[in-house]
Each structure stands twice: as C-alpha cells, then as structure tokens.
Chain A
Amino acid sequence: MAQSELDQLLRAAANGDRAAFRALYNASSAKLFGVAVRILKRSDLAEDVIQDAYLKIWDAAPNFRPELGSPMSWMVAITRNRAIDVLRKRTEVGVEDQKDGGEREDDAPDPYQMTVQNNELKALLSCMERLNPDQRQCLLMAYYYGYTHEEISERMSTPVGTVKSWIRRGLAKVKECLGDG
C-alpha cells in the first residue's frame, strides 16, 4: 500500500474512524508482527506486543508527525520499542525462553542480499557499507534483534567497551554520511 494511503488511514483513525483503523491494521500487521517475532523469537509474545502496539497507535494517532517520518516507520518504531521493553523485562527476571519460531541467527535479515528499490534504504546501506564490517555487524544485530551492548559483546566475543564504541562511532558516521549531521 502506498505511503499516502497509510497516511490517510492514520489520519482517519486519529479522528476516531474504527473502519479506517481496521484497514490500517490489515495493511500493516504482517510487517509489525514480523518485526516483533524477529526480536522476541516467540509468536505468543509477539502477538501481545502488536496488540499493545496497535492500542498505542490508536491513542497516539493524533500525535503522529508526518514531517518526522512515514506512518510505517512510526508504527514500526512503536512496535520495536514495545518488543524491546518486553525483551528487557524477560532478561531481567531471567526467564528461559522456549523459542518456537525456529529462528537462528544465521537467518538474520541481510539487507545487502536484497534488490533494493527504496532510495532512502539505498543511501542508508551505502553509508553503512563505509563502516568497517564489525561496526556494521553490530548495528544490524542490534537493530534486528534488539540486543544490548552486553549481548552483542558475548555474541561477537569482543569486550563490551569496544562494542559500545563501535556502535557510537558507527551511528555518528552513518548520520554524517546521510548528511543529517
């Protein structure tokens, strides 16, 4: 669905139009569920997360600021934030997860293997290509799985301080390269 259609549906939902909200759900729920499952690796938790995310989207629709990004990127951000909060809470209380999605890290989404149409993604990927491979790997792992600095450090067998500085420098370089810095 085109961005402008999502934009219209979101505005209608901001005015309390439930039918438009349903259409917005139909157009976006597979994307949001995909994002949540990737981070939580469990479909029951991911379902709870997207329920919360859609209730938040309904409540916050009037606060959506089109100048700060597309409706989809806004909805994805709400979903990711909720998913990461749930993930952190589970790690904190030490819940041992039974993964049901058969997700392994070698299934990691690899944007470099895709045929990319979107110019903004092209620009982002070419900026990330200028980073050293470790920096880039850290950013992608963090984004797709919501790992903390510590978790990335374990997975990459690299001291946490190094991971932190790779990420900070990586973010700063990406922003500068995109010309936003």
Chain B
Amino acid sequence: MAKHDHDILAGEYALGTLDAQERSEADRLKVSDSSFARAVSEWEARLSHLNEAVPPVEPPASTWNKIEAALAAQVPAGNTALSDLAQQMVDLKRSLAVWRYATMGAVAAALALAVVWIGGLDTSLRQAPPEERYVAMLQSDKGETGFVVTMNMNGKQFAIRPVSAQEPASSSYELWAIMKDGKKPPMTLGLVGTGAYAMMDAPAEIDHKMLEKGVQLAISLESKGGAPTGKSMGPVMFAGLLVKQTP
C-alpha cells in the first residue's frame, strides 16, 4: 500500500469510520507494521482535541469497584501456567518501561554496578560445572510459542530457534534479557529473525548467580533495525523465563 493510502487508512481508523471487518484488518496491521501503528497514534492525538466539546458524564459509582475487582482477579493465585505467563508479560512490560523512563543518574548507577559486578565474573566462571544448559520458551500472551532459546553456559552462547513467529512488516524483533532482581536495565541481545536458527554470544553479565536469581527473556517489536536508544520502545510480543535444563 502506498504511504499516502496507509496514512489515510490510519486516519479513517482513528476517526472511527471503518466497518467491523476493515477495523479488524487494520488492528492486525497495527501489530505487524510499526509505522502504521505510529500513524494511527498520530491521528488519534491530532483528532483528540475534538473531545473537548464532549461534555463529561460521571460514571456510576460502582464502576471503580468493578475495575478494582477485575485487577485483583488478574493476580494469579497459583493457577495455570498461562495466567502466570500473562502476569509475567505484564511484569516484563513494566520492567522495560521503568528503565525506559530511567534518568541518566540511574543509568550511570546501573553501569557502575555492572562494572563492580563484572569484577566478580572470573570466579563464577571457574566454578561452572560442565555442560550446563538453560532453556526458555518465548510465548505470546495468547500462549503461542514464538521462539525457543537455549543457552550453553560453557560456551556462553544463545541459540535461538523460531517456532511460530512471523516476520513483522517494516519492524524488527529485538531480544532482551531482564534480570528479575531489577538492579540492572534490560540488556539487548540483538535483533532476531524468524527465518532460521541463529547463534548469538551471551553477554558477560549473565552468569550462574544471575540465572539463579532469574533471567527473563523478552522479544519486543521495535522499529526496523532495533530500538535506536538502546532501550526498548515497542510492545513485548513474546517472553519466557530461562530455566535450567535437567540432564
């Protein structure tokens, strides 16, 4: 679709004139094409000022209680793996966002921490038992497995295998490691394709101590070529925890 038509479609979506089928097609395009999603957001912002003419109406008093009850029900009470995963996705999005908003001071502090901590790396590597592997199934919030990642601690390499993920149009998938202790910002591990099995070097920061505390992997949808700022800007599409593979 030509760029102009794309933009007008985004305008019609934001205006609200598309019929049910056209809207669901545009919803799919929003997920697969970040430039279209951006055009929609721009149109929404452009037109939103018209809402000043809409008189506010107080909702029923019970509305907040219903929202609060629904939020409380979202917290998994030791139930299925899928709702744990949904919660994990929310937590991941939150931790990516916290660092996206992080001030320079916090980034500097985190870098200082990382330097101190890399100092301790040698000992932990020497203690590594042979042939230790970790694996993560990266799933969408609908439970579809997009990628499987295995990590060989000896060679310090990741292998990433696409399963059901489709190549996004005019966007890129970027892989992030998120430390569960929250003391360091998410680290980018690079862009991932959906075509073939790929090997990537694991960053030095990921060691046994880190893996014991928990390392989440997440794949976000970023603009073509990856997040320009080195911090994730796009939505998390797939996520999973690195767990030790039993021999």
Shortest C-beta distance, A29 to chain B (Å), equals 5
Lowest 10 A-B CB distances belong to which pairs?
A69-B45, A62-B97, A73-B48, A30-B56, A121-B49, A109-B53, A77-B44, A171-B11, A33-B59, A88-B20
Contact residues of B with A, CB < 8 Å? 4, 7-8, 11-12, 14-20, 23, 38, 41-60, 63-64, 66-67, 70-71, 74, 90, 93-94, 96-98, 100-101, 233-235
List the A side residues contacting B93 at CB < 8 Å.
59-60, 62-63
Interface residues on A, range: 35 or more
| CB pair A180 B48 closer than 8 Å | no
Contact residues of A with B, CB < 8 Å? 11, 14-16, 18, 22, 25, 29-35, 37-39, 43, 46-47, 50-51, 54-55, 58-63, 65, 68-70, 72-74, 76-77, 80, 84-85, 88-89, 91-92, 109-111, 114, 116, 118, 120-121, 124, 139-140, 142-144, 146-150, 152, 167-168, 171-172, 174-175, 178, 180
| CB pair A54 B67 closer than 8 Å | yes
- Chief secondary structure at chain B's binding surface: helix
Q: Which residue of B lies closest to A109 (CB)?
A: B53
Can you sample 8 A-B contacts with CB below 8 Å? Answer: A14-B98, A32-B59, A34-B54, A60-B93, A62-B93, A111-B50, A118-B52, A171-B12
Q: Which residue of A lies closest to B72 (CB)?
A: A18
List the A side residues contacting B47 at CB < 8 Å.
124, 143
**Which of the listed residues B51, B52, B234 has the most CB atoms from chain A within 10 Å of its own CB?**
B51
| CB pair B23 A143 closer than 8 Å | no
| CB pair B57 A34 closer than 8 Å | yes
List the B side residues contacting A46 at CB < 8 Å.
59
**Which of the listed residues B15, B20, B233 has the most CB atoms from chain A within 10 Å of its own CB?**
B15
**Which of the listed residues A61, A80, A89 has the most CB atoms from chain B within 10 Å of its own CB?**
A80
